[in-house]
Chain A
Amino acid sequence: MTASPAMPPAAPSRAAPRLKVPLVMAGLAVLLVAMAGLGLSLGASGLSPRDMLRSDLDEAGRAILFDIRLPRLLLGALVGAALAVSGALMQGLFRNPLADPGLVGVGAGAGLGAVIAIVLGGMIPAGVQALTGIYMVPVFAFLGGWLTTLLLYRVASLRGHTSIATMLLAGIVLAALAGAATGILIYMAADRQLRDLTFWGLGSLAGANWTKLAAAAPMMILGLAAAPLLARGLNAMALGEAVARHMGVPVERVKRGAILGVAAMTGAAVAVSGGIGFVGIVVPHILRLAIGPDHRSLLPAAALFGAVLLIAADTVSRLVVAPAELPIGIIMALIGAPVFLWILLARRAVMEI
């Protein structure tokens, strides 16, 4: 696990980064505002934000704009930012361009939690049911992701030192174990629960509302706010842990911060949106090509670009088969995969892959 050629150390990148980085950032910010406006204006019901100002807006219209589209937009932006930043953190931490939040077991654990809630929902004690109400699936998904990550972290840590290689392998093993447990539950599941499971895996923001946003947002915002603090440490660790340690970087604290940050952000994101893949891989890679691997600019740019991408995909998912909805995971892979492949092919020489 040496530094990958895809992510050279934090040396100044080829093009003049001083000009390029602010330009890309500004462009992404403008894009985010434009995309948010578009997402708020478009929808199956054909209401536009101009209608928001109308005093004679009926109850259903008000509900569509303020209780459906707006929380969904904010949730989409946060989920996109959280997933993209988590991906960038993981790739930096593991010094591996293939790393994504799934590596630390959040995905498999959250999946298991969701499946437990969907299949065994009726058997869960009434007290817990009353506490979680209709949000049992997101709550269990979050707990599943969080517990798996903590377990993995304990497994990989010995006397205050966390072995990244052990964590990677243990992550694969734990994911297999969670997969087996999920398989048993899928076997037990009834026909309809199977359909719920399938849809959960494809991801959707359709259930977004203020309650969900209020529950999930603090976790994601906390993670997003803390991520830039890790940037210098991750830059140094790109040279290798030993070098970073000699440079005076608190390597263990950076690792712990990155792992917990990713668990919080991805756990909350997966809990409210289901299985939306791809953002954590594609966004950081495209940005590294554009502005270089310096985490100080990469992390905020990933947050902006992730938010833009997810809002865009969600808008498409709401419109393409309206009034029904196509799961967002499908859209994400359908748009994202060819674009990413095209970029890879076009920049093959530079990426040296």
Chain B
Amino acid sequence: MIRLAFALARAVLPAAAARAQERVLSIGGAVTEVIYALGEEGRLVGRDTTSGFPPEAGALPDVGYMRQLSPEGVLSVAPDLIILSGGAGPAETLATLEAAGVRMLTVPEDFTTDGVIARIEAVAGALGVPEKGADLAARTQAGLDAARAQVAQYDGERPRVLFLLSNAGGRLTGAGQGNAADAMITLAGGVNAVGGFEGYKALGDEAIAASAPDILLVMSRGDDGASEGVQDDDDYLTHPAIAQTPAGQAGRIIRMPGMFLLGFGPRTPEAIAELHAAFRRQMSPQ
């Protein structure tokens, strides 16, 4: 289904393979990562606010938040191809850009390993470098297979993992189903401790206590992982609701950079392996 969508997107852009686009605007951190991984960053003329990796991308002109693009800002970097992550907008801006004759490719969001490969192939196709795309896709697929093999070998107890998006003023926001955090927990051999809702929601103290997570998973602030979050581990572990859970009592918390963990891009194999290794470390008897 997803492959079909990508195939359609490519069919609409028949010139993609034939004519190399020289001025490319990347909207969405995951797309930007793929472009850098393909080694095609020389053609980038701009990026959006969510494109924080690799750090060099920060030097490109920032056309704004991906859901709040302004048509003139986008056109001012004179792109001849815009590659957008699913969810980019608003629709009025995209319609204006289309009317202005700029070629656009939207890469749908998809939190599966197949989605990672499909996204790489779609971006490479749009950039007219399908060979490089096939190469990167093959490498990424190999990485994914290796990481999943490791996960499959694990015969210990599958940890219950609670992903927390934020701890604003003691109110915790956690990940339910149908989002990148839930998908990563499952891929790395864990079980999402909370369920029954889609996306990210504020969790009540009782709901957290009832979810009884073995491990907390949170994002570190800087996307490069260099700067740690303003909330240190104790802010989470000593939270009254968490303190009573297995994770709180044993002090089990894992921190990973947001884009690395949730980006579903070329670094995802590494992220799965790293998350799984962290699960193993945390769950092994001390």
Contact = CB atoms under 8 A, between A and B. Distances in A.
A59 B80 CA distance: 12
Given A68-B96, A192-B87, A323-B63, A199 B68 contact: yes
A60 B75 contact: yes
B73 A322 contact: yes
B65 interface: yes
A45 B71 CA distance: 10
Nearest to A72: B72
B180 to A, nearest CB: 11
Given A322-B76, A324-B70, 5 more contacts: A45-B78, A63-B75, A199-B68, A323-B63, A324-B65
Contacts of B61: 323
Pick the 8 closest A-B CB pairs, nearest first: A324-B64, A63-B100, A44-B76, A134-B91, A207-B92, A45-B76, A323-B73, A206-B70
Contact of B75 (A64, A135, A190, A208): A64
A318 B96 CA distance: 17
Nearest to B69: A206
10 contacts: A46-B76, A60-B75, A63-B96, A191-B199, A192-B67, A212-B92, A323-B46, A323-B62, A323-B73, A325-B64
Interface string B50-71: 0000000000011111011111
A69 B92 CA distance: 14
Contacts of A67: 96, 99-100
Interface of B: 46, 49, 61-65, 67-78, 87, 90-93, 95-96, 99-102, 165, 198-200, 202
Interface residues on A, range: 20 to 34
B68 A204 contact: yes
A51 interface: no
Given A63-B100, A68-B71, A190-B200, A206 B93 contact: yes
Interface in A183-201: 187, 190-192, 195-196, 199
Contact of A323 (B76, B92, B102, B165): B76
A199 B67 contact: yes
Nearest to A46: B76
B70 A318 contact: yes
A135 B89 CA distance: 13
A322 to B, nearest CB: 6
A13 interface: no
Nearest to B62: A324
A60 B74 CA distance: 11
Interface in A47-90: 59-60, 63-64, 67-69
Contacts of A321: 64
B99 A63 contact: yes
Nearest to B94: A134
A29 to B, nearest CB: 27
Nearest to B101: A59
A204 B78 CA distance: 23
Contact of B165 (A68, A191, A325): A191
A206 B70 CA distance: 5
A235 to B, nearest CB: 41
A196 B89 CA distance: 10
Interface in A206-226: 206-209, 212
Contact of A195 (B65, B73, B100, B102): B65
A191 B200 contact: yes
A144 interface: no
Contact of B72 (A59, A64, A196): A64
Contacts of B90: 134, 206-207
